[in-house]
Amino acid sequence: MKKSLGALPAVFPAPVLMVGTYDENGVPNVMNAAWGMVSDSDQITLFLAEDRKTVDNMHLTGAFTVALADEKHMKEADYFGIATGRKTPDKFARTGLSAVKSERVNAPVIEEFPLTMECEFVEEVNSKTLHCYVGKIVNVLADEDVLDEKGKVRPEKLGAILFDNFTSGYYTIGTRVGKAWHEGLPLHKGE
Question: How do beta strands 28-33 and 131-142 pair?
Answer: unpaired
Nearest CA among 115, 7, 1, 132 for reference residue 58? 132
pLDDT at 160 over 70: yes
Predicted local distance difference test score (pLDDT) of residue 172: 92
CATH at 130: 2.30.110.10
pLDDT at 141 over 90: yes
How do residues 77-127 score in pLDDT, each as one tens digit? 999 999 998 999 899 999 999 999 999 999 999 999 999 999 999 999 999
pLDDT at 191 over 80: no
Predicted local distance difference test score (pLDDT) of residue 121: 98
Predicted local distance difference test score (pLDDT) of residue 25: 94
Q: CA-CA distance, 98 to 16, in Å (whole number)?
A: 19
CB 112 within 8 A of CB 146: no
Domain that holds residue 179: 14-188
**Is residue 27 in a domain?**
yes
Phi first, then psi: give them for residue 47, nearest 5 degrees. -100, 100
Q: CA-CA distance, 18 to 80, in Å (whole number)?
A: 8
Predicted local distance difference test score (pLDDT) of residue 171: 93
Predicted local distance difference test score (pLDDT) of residue 175: 81
**Is residue 1 in a domain?**
no
Overall domain count for the chain: 1
Predicted local distance difference test score (pLDDT) of residue 100: 98
Q: CA-CA distance, 187 to 183, in Å (whole number)?
A: 9
Q: CA-CA distance, 64 to 33, in Å (whole number)?
A: 13
Cα maximum dimension of the chain = 61
Q: CA-CA distance, 172 to 152, in Å (whole number)?
A: 20
Predicted local distance difference test score (pLDDT) of residue 10: 81
| H or E, element range at 57 | helix 53-61
**Is residue 8 in a domain?**
no
How do residues 30-85 score in pLDDT, each as one tens digit? 999 989 999 999 999 999 988 999 999 999 999 999 999 999 999 999 999 999 98
Q: CA-CA distance, 92 to 87, in Å (whole number)?
A: 12
Mapped onto helix, strand or coil, the DSSP state of residue 78 is: helix
**Is residue 130 in a domain?**
yes
